[in-house]
Structure 1
Amino acid sequence: MSYHMRIWEGKRPSSAAHPDEVLLRMGDLADGRYLRGEDPDPPNPKIAEFIAALLRRWPDIEEEGSPWSSSGTGYADGPTLTVHIQWGREEEVSEFVAGLAMVYGLVCYDCQPGRGLRP
């Protein structure tokens, strides 16, 4: 288990309920591709830049000191990224992820119960 955050390129939802709808649509699309045996789409340029910035801050999972619980910080699919953070590092790393998402103009959703959109 790890601490999960979803990052995506698009309009920031206007209500607390709306992110759930957006996330469900994203999940349905990804699940459909998976069930058809299709690979995820490569990350779009902004998501790829965001991942590169995260990996400049902290090393990938294979290296000592990495806070990630999966390679490349998580699962990228087109305009979306699910970030997987090791428990015990979640406060420091999630703050950075949320702040960096804001700098890149990306939407950041903290998947833990009671958290929601960040910042």
Structure 2
Amino acid sequence: MSYDLVVWEGARPTDDKTAGKVFADLYNHYIEEGPNHPPSERISAYVAALLERWCDLTEDEEDTSPWSTGPLIGEASGPLIYFPMRWSMADEASAYAADLAHSMGLVCFDVQWDRLRP
């Protein structure tokens, strides 16, 4: 079982319902439809910052990475990244990921709870 977050570029929606609609539109455009888009510069920088804290799953020899897939950058498409993490590490990793997104001017949305973070 995994815990999923999505982070994207753009203005922070005014409420959770609006954020859910923005997420659905972005997901449909960048993940469901058409070919993969290369990650934007800001999303690439975000992923790099996450990987400074915890290694990529593809390099995890000591089972310390919270990510459920690897390489993590492979979950990014254009201005968003939709990424799963191990349930057992979700509290710490999702809090860090949400705080980091906020500090970088990105929007973080909790898919399980359909709400903005932090």
Corresponding residue number in structure 2 for 1:28: 28
Corresponding residue number in structure 1 for 2:82: 82
Please state whether the residue corresponding to 1:88 is helix, strand or coil: helix
Asked if 2 retains the 8 angstrom alpha-carbon contact of 1:5 and 1:84, the reply is yes
Asked if 2 retains the 8 angstrom alpha-carbon contact of 1:55 and 1:72, the reply is no
Asked if 2 retains the 8 angstrom alpha-carbon contact of 1:4 and 1:85, the reply is yes
In structure 2, distance between residues paired with 1:83 and 1:28? 15
Displacement after TM superposition at 1:72 (Å): 3.0
In structure 1, distance between residues paired with 2:49 and 2:71? 11
Higher percent of residues as helix: 2
Identity, % of aligned positions: 38
Kindly provide the amino acid, as one letter, of the partner of residue 84 in structure 2. Answer: H
Please state whether the residue corresponding to 1:109 is helix, strand or coil: strand
In structure 1, distance between residues paired with 2:39 and 2:88? 28
Q: Deviations over 1:58-88 (max 9, x none)?
A: 0111312111000133610010001211011
In structure 2, distance between residues paired with 1:101 and 1:72? 19
In structure 2, distance between residues paired with 1:27 and 1:95? 22
Asked if 2 retains the 8 angstrom alpha-carbon contact of 1:5 and 1:109, the reply is yes
Q: Which runs of 5+ in 2 are unaligned?
A: none
Kindly provide the amino acid, as one letter, of the partner of residue 60 in structure 1. Answer: D
**Moved beyond 6 Å, runs of 4+:** none
Given the alignment of the two structures, is residue 16 of structure 1 paired with residue 16 of structure 2, yes or no? yes
Corresponding residue number in structure 2 for 1:59: 55
Please state whether the residue corresponding to 1:46 is helix, strand or coil: helix
In structure 2, distance between residues paired with 1:32 and 1:42? 14
Kindly provide the amino acid, as one letter, of the partner of residue 83 in structure 2. Answer: V
RMSD: 1.3
Asked if 2 retains the 8 angstrom alpha-carbon contact of 1:110 and 1:118, the reply is yes
Q: Which runs of 5+ in 1 are unaligned?
A: none
Asked if 2 retains the 8 angstrom alpha-carbon contact of 1:51 and 1:72, the reply is no
